[in-house]
Amino acid sequence: MAGRFVIFTDLDGSLLDAETYSFQAARPALQKLKKKQVPIILCTSKTRAETEVIARKIGLNHPFIVENGGAIFIPAGYFTSEQLRNSGYKVIRKGDYLVIQLGLPYRQLRQFMVSTRKKFKLKVKGFGDCRPEEIARLTGLGLKEARLAARREYDEPLWFEDPSRTRLFREKVREAGLKLVRGGRFFHLTGKNDKGRAVRILKNLYRKKLGQLISLGLGDADNDWPMLKEVELPGLVARPDGQPVGLKQVPENIYKTKKAGPAGWAEAINYWLKVTQTKASP
Ligand SMILES: [Mg+2]
């Protein structure tokens, strides 16, 4: 296997600890990758506002995928305008980023959720029903981070206070042409987008920029499955509770980590660095 490494990674429960949101245990592995100039693309259900802060903390200046594939944020100048033009997708400017939007506007998702809830008397609640204090309590985030998590554009995290009616809601979601996927902590209501489509688009752009690629993917939950299907080397990060993830088909070459969270993330990276003879430097 030859080519340049490109890494797509989930955040919560993968690169970040599911409880503390720390990436401390992955620091040495991140350092190794940075030295080799391997692009690390965050691919998360978090918002753009949250992901930006985390990317800055880790010291990344690469594109990132937010809200379960709702949009790809690309730092201006990262790809040439010709490469972007040839992507086949509309690119819009938002601040310092060029953005490819794949999801439905959040307002539309909320409208669907609120009207379905009312019509069928469902006890389903989402971030849009909560004050930041409540989001902080539910997620264990600080209040500042919870405010960033509330700035949603393409994905509504939700949960059922009456789980026996989950199936009915799921049916209505499907009828409306929307999607409901399970993340580490919540369900997520989105448009037709998923992490996989966003990964595919970025892989094509990277091929133009870097040539032959070996793409790696790391995730821990069902919503990561579309991403793991798109990469050459998929990795499943163990959950702290040891609960297996309900992946429908597991790719043959998937690497399942023994350790959970960022320690498991580092374990997979170290394993792949060892087994592949990759010239990851330019
Ligand atoms: Mg996760």
CATH number, position 161: 3.30.980.20
Q: How far is the CA of 221 from the centre of ligand 1 (A)?
A: 5
| Distance separating alpha carbons of residues 48 and 281, to the nearest angstrom | 29
User: Tell me, what's the pLDDT at 79?
Assistant: 97
Q: Is residue 281 assigned to a domain?
A: no
Q: What is the pLDDT of residue 183?
A: 87
Query: Tokens 């094509």 correspond to what residue?
Result: 204
Is 10 annotated as catalytic?
A: yes
Residues 84 and 115 reside in one and the same domain: no
Of 158, 190, 222, which one is at a domain's C-terminal end?
Answer: 190
Residues in the chain: 282
- Tokens representing 59? 């010291």
Cα 220 from chain centroid?
10
| CA 252 – ligand 1 centroid, Å | 21
Domain of 172? 106-190
Q: What is the pLDDT along the chain (282 residues), one digit of tens a residue?
A: 678 999 999 999 999 999 999 999 999 999 999 999 999 999 999 999 999 999 999 999 999 999 999 999 999 999 999 999 999 999 999 999 999 999 999 999 999 999 999 999 999 999 999 999 999 999 999 999 999 999 999 999 999 998 888 999 999 999 999 999 988 889 999 999 999 999 999 999 999 999 999 999 999 988 999 999 999 999 999 998 877 666 666 778 899 999 999 999 999 999 999 998 644 444
CA–centroid distance, residue 86 to ligand 1 (Å): 31
d(CA 46, CA 151): 9
pLDDT value at position 282?
44
The per-residue pLDDT for 181 is 92
Q: Report if residue 282 sits inside a domain.
A: no
Domain count, the chain: 2
> Ligand 1: distance of its center to the CA of 184 in Å?
5
Q: How far is the CA of 261 from the centre of ligand 1 (A)?
A: 9
Out of 125, 157, 190, a domain closes at 190
Show the tokens assigned to 200.
């595919």
Question: Last residue of some domain: 190, 224, 239?
Answer: 190
Question: Do the bridges between strand 124-126 and strand 155-160 make them parallel or antiparallel, or are there none, so unpaired?
Answer: antiparallel
Residues 149 and 261 in one domain: no
Contacts of 211 (CB under 8 A, 6+ apart): 3, 4
| Ligand 1 center from residue 92 Cα (angstroms) | 28
Same domain, 205 and 271: yes
Q: Look at residue 242 in the predicted model and tell me its pLDDT.
A: 75
Label the pairing between strands 97-101 and 124-126: unpaired
- List 10, 12, 155, 194, catalytic entry: 10
Are residues 98 and 208 both part of a single domain?
Answer: yes
